[in-house]
Structure 1
């Protein structure tokens, strides 16, 4: 009888382990089983990408706050988010970026979060806007209001990757307009812009100018990743 119970116990444990493996899911970066978005090993690799100083002052732009360097595991994670159909990557990135906000001392009231938009065709192709997903997670932690359609991208643009700095600015000239989500909120004038990556600043500069021309004030820029070319 005891042997039979032991066999049943061993069988039940093997069954539990098998179903646990199935139900856990996979790490969004390495595909190993985990109950979180990233496994512990990949989380450590991502944390190694953290910037030393989270704020940069760049001429012609509001203060820039970024969580990590665009390299290694963070670069791989953003590639999976944007091109690999892994929208779940945005959740921890937004949470970590929110901690940068909470540590910044910029806890002003009356701010609204606006993500950098994709053109409708590209968003339909991808299925989501990665900047919006990061911003949603960011707002869940900070409690700040989100205006997902605060900005609209009116024209499709060439991919920024591989373009020279001047070409990036020309590529993004006059491609944004203020959306109805902000036009219907006249009392919300102070904006925090959120994007996935800061490289040359062309995208965020164009978005900032569009908002300023409509009477809004961009208080800060927040990105999950910062190109090493900006590290001084």
Structure 2
């Protein structure tokens, strides 16, 4: 009886406040989430999971920190649908969209590659507590959760911490980005032993210069993990 009431209320709310496609703003049908079918098929997928050790991707980190693999789901470019999605995920409260899109990618990774066999735990790039309080959520944690559920792997929010509150990276070049995140991240006190020998998938929303992910990966490697791979929802064209 309770489930029936819940379903009835949900249907009623959908009539009053229908879910809209984050791309075209048209009403979503019952079997659509985040994007309508028309928008979803337009997503510029990278197919990185088919070649996760591609040197072009790994070159972002070459000579800086050892990275096992680098994959991104979608190509990000100014004004495209992916930029719109990332903006809404980061600044418009669409955390559930972050999880759903990550789930799509996780299922694709699981069915079309063997990459999940190289991962023990999934960790999102952390936000500083002040930023987390401002935004109310960390989109990287929601992405990590979606990937973890699809890949049937654990995700952890308590391993990495952001020690300092730094300004946005959005308009910085490569050197400025690195200087902005240098010595910002650390492995949480008492968690070092939990990383020993672990194969980590480090997760974020967008891969641009890689400086933030590089800084996080360096701390994980320092703590003794076996390997670090990188998964993001989007990446700029190389």
What TM-score do the two structures reach when normalised by structure 1? 0.82
Corresponding residue for residue 46 of structure 2: 51
Structure 1: gaps (5+ residues): 1-16
- Hey, what's the Cα distance between the residues in 2 that align with 1:67 and 1:173? 27
- Hey, what's the Cα distance between the residues in 1 that align with 2:210 and 2:150? 26
- Hey, what's the Cα distance between the residues in 2 that align with 1:120 and 1:26? 31
Corresponding residue for residue 40 of structure 1: 37
- Hey, what's the Cα distance between the residues in 2 that align with 1:165 and 1:100? 31
- Hey, what's the Cα distance between the residues in 2 that align with 1:94 and 1:57? 21
Q: Matched residue of 1:75: which SS?
A: helix
CA contact 2:95–2:139 (8 Å) conserved in 1: yes
Q: 1:26 aligns with which of 20, 25, 33?
A: 20
Largest Rg, 1 or 2 = 1
Deviates more, 1:120-129 or 1:106-115: 106-115
**Inter-CA distance 227–184: structure 2 relative to 1 (3 Å threshold):** same
Give a deviation string over 1:33-70, Cα, whole Å, max 9, x none: 21322222222232xx1115443222145121110101
**Inter-CA distance 20–124: structure 2 relative to 1 (3 Å threshold):** closer
Corresponding residue for residue 180 of structure 2: 171
Within 5 Å, give how 1:60-75 maps onto structure 2.
Answer: 60=63, 61-62=66-67, 63-71=69-77, 72-75=80-83
Aligned length: 211
Deviates more, 1:96-105 or 1:73-82: 96-105
Corresponding residue for residue 94 of structure 1: 102
Within 5 Å, give how 1:140-219 maps onto structure 2.
Answer: 140-179=149-188, 182-183=191-192, 185=194, 189-219=198-228
- Hey, what's the Cα distance between the residues in 1 that align with 2:206 and 2:169? 11
What TM-score do the two structures reach when normalised by structure 2? 0.80
Give a deviation string over 1:172-204, Cα, whole Å, max 9, x none: 101111125844635662211011000001011
